[in-house]
């Protein structure tokens, strides 16, 4: 498939963004640093237009608001976990409602990270929750700065006439938000009751995938999502072996740049871009939590933990897919166009 000038600029920005953000996060390794390349790939994905600075500012403010609310509730209500869980469910309903109403995917993603991650860390330690909150905010700011710089280097102006936004059925959006939250609740309860902080990433990935316009369409779309997570997990295992065998920044940079070029081409030109996006998110999350201080060490449990996470992620995704498909078959979820999920390039 031929690549036009706009797509070429988008692919270059995407590759360079991944080559900068991933080594930066994995080497400095501040709390929640692995979010940085994930957010960068979301912001630099298709359609690749250069948003004004005001949208990046709005994105950072919205992220800071959800991080602050999640941290405040965690510190205030840690002695009353039942009340905290109820309030978190209300926040999940709000996030999913806004997502169903057309909110940008990047805003929904970071909001879900904040609401799920910070309270779960607070179970272990309030100090850990504070560190994660500030680390998450730092990742959002770092991602935004990288994307602003790259859009300034290779700008793609927004079109003069934007396509009209699809009509929003607020009643259906509320209905879907309640169903999504109901599907997430058992997984959240398992993580909180059994102190499964190590499964936080799986929880967040499943929460993100729930708001997927293809989930309710057919069984084949759900199967594709399961395969995407498996593919991302296998790729993460292979890349972990490669990057720990040659543990040097001079090797990491070109590897991530080549990965960015390949994934960028798929995202901008392939009809299966959603598959590659899900697989890339899984790959970056698994690598980001396995490299860094563990890379090049003698910790032989790292890869076994990655295999375990991929298996658990597959089971959780199967649960989500079958739940979404069942709700669709029962008529509780209505089909929606694949374009319903907000553009990844605007904040």
In a domain, 257, yes or no: yes
Average pLDDT over residues 218-239: 80
Range of the domain at 16: 5-156+170-340
**57-84 pLDDT, tens per residue?**
999 999 999 999 999 999 998 888 889 8
In a domain, 245, yes or no: yes
In a domain, 346, yes or no: no
Per the prediction, the chain carries an average pLDDT of 82
Q: What is the pTM of this model?
A: 0.85
**152-209 pLDDT, tens per residue?**
988 888 776 666 666 777 888 888 888 888 888 888 888 887 776 666 767 777 777 7
Give, to the nearest 10 degrees, the angle between helix 105-124 and helix 170-193: 30
In a domain, 270, yes or no: yes
Query: Closest Cα partner for 229 from 306, 297, 165?
Result: 306
In a domain, 93, yes or no: yes
In a domain, 226, yes or no: yes
Q: Cβ(230)–Cβ(310) under 8 Å?
A: yes
How many domains are contained in the chain?
1
In a domain, 347, yes or no: no
- Identify the band that residue 336 occupies on the pLDDT scale cut at 50, 70 and 90: low
End-to-end Cα, the chain, rounded Å: 29
- Identify the band that residue 19 occupies on the pLDDT scale cut at 50, 70 and 90: very high
Average pLDDT over residues 202-225: 65
Asked if the model's pLDDT at residue 345 lies above 60, the reply is no
Q: What percent of the chain has pLDDT over 90?
A: 31
In a domain, 161, yes or no: no
Look at 42-56, 92-106, 278-292, 325-339 and tell me which has the smallest mean pLDDT.
325-339
Neighbours of 261 (CB within 10 A): 17
């Amino acid at each position: 498939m031929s690549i036009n000038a706009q797509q070429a600029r988008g692919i270059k920005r995407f590759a360079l963004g991944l080559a900068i953000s991933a080594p930066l996060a994995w080497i400095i390794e501040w709390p929640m640093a692995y979010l940085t390349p994930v957010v960068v790939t979301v912001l630099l994905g298709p359609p690749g237009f250069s948003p004004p600075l005001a949208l990046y500012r709005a994105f950072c403010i919205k992220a800071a608001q959800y991080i602050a609310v999640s941290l405040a509730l965690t510190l205030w209500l840690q002695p009353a976990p039942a009340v905290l869980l109820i309030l978190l469910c209300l926040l999940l309903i709000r996030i999913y409602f806004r997502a169903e109403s057309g909110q940008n995917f990047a805003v929904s993603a970071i909001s879900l990270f904040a609401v799920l991650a910070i309270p779960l860390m607070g179970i272990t330690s309030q100090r850990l929750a504070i560190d994660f909150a500030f680390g998450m905010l730092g990742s959002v700011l770092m991602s935004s700065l990288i994307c602003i710089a790259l859009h300034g280097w290779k700008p793609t102006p927004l079109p003069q006439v934007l396509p009209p936004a699809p009509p929003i059925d607020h009643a259906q959006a509320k209905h879907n938000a309640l169903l999504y939250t109901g599907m997430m609740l058992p997984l959240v309860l398992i993580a909180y009751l059994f102190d499964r902080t190590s499964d936080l990433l799986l929880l967040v990935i499943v929460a993100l995938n729930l708001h997927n316009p293809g989930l309710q369409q057919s069984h084949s779309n759900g199967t594709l999502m399961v395969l995407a997570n498996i593919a991302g997990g296998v790729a993460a295992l292979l890349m972990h072996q490669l990057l720990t065998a040659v543990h040097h920044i001079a090797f990491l940079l070109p590897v991530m740049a080549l990965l960015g070029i390949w994934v960028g081409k798929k995202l901008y030109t392939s009809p299966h871009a959603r598959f590659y996006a899900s697989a890339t998110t899984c790959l970056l999350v698994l690598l980001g939590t396995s490299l860094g201080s563990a890379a090049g060490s003698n910790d032989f449990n790292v890869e076994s933990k990655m295999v375990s996470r991929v298996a658990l992620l597959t089971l959780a995704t199967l649960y989500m897919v079958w739940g979404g498909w069942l709700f669709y078959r029962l008529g509780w979820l209505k089909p929606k166009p694949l374009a319903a999920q907000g553009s990844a390039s605007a904040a």
